[in-house]
Amino acid sequence: MLYQIFETQRSLMEPFADFAQAASKLYGQTNSPMAQNPMAQRVSAGYDLLYRLGKDYEKPQFGIKSVQVEGMDVAIHERIEMDKPFCELRRFKRFTDDAATLTKLKAQPVVLIVAPLSGHYATLLRDTVRTMLKDHKVYVTDWKNARLVPLSEGEFHLDDYVNYVQEFIRDLQSKYGNCHIMSVCQPTVPVLAAVSLMASRGEKTPITMTMMGGPIDATKSPTAVNNLAMNKSHSWFENNVIYRVPDSFPGAGRRVYPGFLQHTGFVAMNPDRHLKSHYDYFKDLIKGDNSSVDSHRDFYDEYNAVLDMDADYYLETINTVFQDFKLVRGTWEIKNPQGKLELVRPQDIRTTALLTVEGELDDISGSGQTEAAHKLCSGIVRQEHHHLEAKGAGHYGIFSGRRWREVVYPHVKSFILEHNKGQGKSTAKPKAKVVAKKAPPVAKKAAPVKATAKPAAKKAATAKK
């Protein structure tokens, strides 16, 4: 019933939001008679703010048209490589007429970026993708809004997520021989499971795994997000946050965790910050500070766009990751596409190098949660364990923004490039390892590398392509 009430409210608000948008333009246009009023700028700003608070935020576009590769402008063509019921494997193919640049592009590593399925769209990683495209062939998982998936497509479980990741890895391996895989936040757990299962079967595994800000072991430094999932029972979640999609959508009748509930939770974590942000936006409109206005709009166009998650996937994630801790306890069994249960054994991974990245100020995945992957992956030799702690970075800072581009990315780039040599994709010889100190695969805690590691960043940036 709550979902139907929300949709009714949204439908009722839509004409008012449209009116507010029109009124804002009417008072804001310099040639309009209404703009001659001395209060016109304030009235226009007020209506604009009302419009943005009441409008419906649809799925954003990646909108990456070109990137700079060593000073050359390279065109980007975005296309769907594989279309699954609940996910699209999206490729960002690079084009150039410059022969030398094209040769370099062909030799660069292939990276599969597994985006989170935790309320926001994959476009949340737009900055991640744009930055990676300078030095890599990039594929990304673009998860679908469950309310748009018809019931005829069946259910979607956490096991299906893991099986999707394996299928995507195999697809890239069939095209390129092998690939690198990167997971951001929520997918660190299913990605580790996917690679573990492939290793246990004796399949070829990715060259490297980069895991950023994820709840591998949610018992370490639990955050407010972790505590909510840990302190409520499975039945509480099923009875209080699971609803059926209304008849107005293709996925009518599907049980989901609605995106609007997830968005409410996001805002509730920092209500004062959002209130101040909107008030600053109002003042920037009055002052005519277009740069700040555009930044606000870009952020909230992404932040306010949310998707529904299939109920089975959501509930199983809560239980597996935050309540029973099945990955770290070694009790997680996954049903493969043939219906057989397989035990997840990260210790079976031997030929994949591991890099974990954490933000010092991360309030979503606490300190040590991602780093815990090193102890689980005890089969990887010591020198192939790497860990980075980004000084001063929060959760979003490790994959988006200045700290991602200037601190984290140089380490990720160097790590991938170094391990890609000998794969037939690159002949570059990095002068240094990704980090100054290796993360031991067993009991000893890894020494984090602070964001002040400028020499490593410099070497990564100057490595020959």
**Which pLDDT value is given to residue 156?**
97
Same domain, 319 and 433: yes
Q: Could you tell me which of 320, 311, 124, 321 has the C-alpha nearest to residue 222?
A: 321
Q: Pick from 284, 303, 322: which residue ends a domain?
A: 303
**Which pLDDT value is given to residue 452?**
40
Q: Which residue segment(s) compose the domain that 145 sits in?
A: 66-237+309-462
Same domain, 227 and 359: yes
For residue 182, give Cα distances in angstroms to 68, 266, 314, 353: 22, 24, 22, 12
Question: Which range, 205-214, 356-365, 434-443, has the best average confidence (pLDDT)?
Answer: 205-214
**Which pLDDT value is given to residue 423?**
63
Q: What percent of the chain lies above the pLDDT cut of 90? A: 75
Question: Is 453 among the domain residues?
Answer: yes
In what helix (H) or strand (E) does residue 386 lie, and over which residues does it extend? strand 385-390
Q: Phi then psi for 66, rounded to 5 degrees?
A: -160, 160
Q: Could you tell me which of 45, 31, 56 has the C-alpha nearest to residue 285?
A: 45
The number of residues in the chain equals: 465
Same domain, 344 and 277: no
Q: Could you tell me which of 450, 465, 344 has the C-alpha nearest to residue 403?
A: 450
**Which pLDDT value is given to residue 210?**
98
87-95 and 341-343 strand pairing: unpaired
3-state secondary structure of 83: strand
Q: Phi then psi for 187, rounded to 5 degrees?
A: -70, -5
Q: Phi then psi for 11, rounded to 5 degrees?
A: -65, -40
**Which pLDDT value is given to residue 225?**
80
**Which pLDDT value is given to residue 105?**
93
Tokens of 8: 């009714």
∠ CA 345-351-332, nearest 5°, is 10
Same domain, 221 and 315: yes
Same domain, 318 and 296: no
Distance CA 13, CA 129 (A): 35
Does residue 464 register a pLDDT over 50?
no
- Residue pLDDT, tens place only, 52-91: 999 989 999 999 999 999 888 999 999 999 999 999 999 9
Confidence of residue 229 (pLDDT cuts 50, 70, 90): confident
Question: Is 386 among the domain residues?
Answer: yes
- Residue pLDDT, tens place only, 340-384: 999 999 999 999 999 999 999 998 899 999 999 999 999 999 999
Average pLDDT of the residues in 414-426: 75
**Which pLDDT value is given to residue 296?**
94
Ranking 89-93, 317-321, 347-351, 433-437 by mean pLDDT, the lowest is 433-437
Question: Is 264 among the domain residues?
Answer: yes
Looking up residue 146, the CATH number of its domain turns out to be 3.40.50.1820
∠ CA 208-214-217, nearest 5°, is 105
Exposure class string for 66-76: b at 16+ Cβ within 10 A, else e: ebebeebebeb
Does residue 441 register a pLDDT over 50?
no
Average pLDDT of the residues in 215-220: 94
The mean of the pLDDT values for the chain is: 88
- Residue pLDDT, tens place only, 382-417: 999 999 999 999 999 999 999 999 999 999 999 999
Q: What is the dihedral of CA 387, 388, 394, 396, to 10 degrees?
A: -80
Tokens of 273: 């910050």
309-310 and 255-257 strand pairing: antiparallel
Distance CA 126, CA 34 (A): 39
344 CB-near residues (< 8 Å, 6+ apart): 192, 193, 196, 197, 326, 327, 330, 332, 333, 334
Q: Which residue has the tokens 């070829």?
A: 204
Question: Is 345 among the domain residues?
Answer: yes
**Which pLDDT value is given to residue 433?**
36
Same domain, 318 and 202: yes
Question: Is 284 among the domain residues?
Answer: yes
Beta strands in 134-254 (DSSP E): 137-143, 180-184, 208-212, 243-244
**Which pLDDT value is given to residue 78?**
96
- Residue pLDDT, tens place only, 294-306: 999 999 999 999 9
Question: Is 247 among the domain residues?
Answer: no
Confidence of residue 422 (pLDDT cuts 50, 70, 90): low
Tell me the helices (H) and strands (E) count for the chain, helix number first: 17, 14
Same domain, 374 and 275: no
* Partners of residue 67 on adjacent β-strands: 74
Same domain, 347 and 224: yes
Question: Is 251 among the domain residues?
Answer: no
Question: Is 127 among the domain residues?
Answer: yes
Same domain, 125 and 14: no
> Is the model more confident about 33 or about 143?
143
Same domain, 358 and 407: yes
Other Cβ atoms closer than 10 A to 357: 31
Average pLDDT of the residues in 16-44: 86
Does residue 418 register a pLDDT over 60?
yes
Same domain, 146 and 265: no
**Which pLDDT value is given to residue 113?**
98
Same domain, 275 and 187: no
- Residue pLDDT, tens place only, 255-305: 999 999 988 888 887 899 899 999 999 999 999 999 999 999 999 999 999
**Which pLDDT value is given to residue 337?**
93
- CA within 13 Å, CB half, 404: 19
pTM (predicted TM-score):
0.87
Other Cβ atoms closer than 10 A to 37: 13
Structural domains in the chain (count): 2
- Residue pLDDT, tens place only, 127-177: 999 999 999 999 999 999 999 999 999 999 999 999 999 999 999 999 999
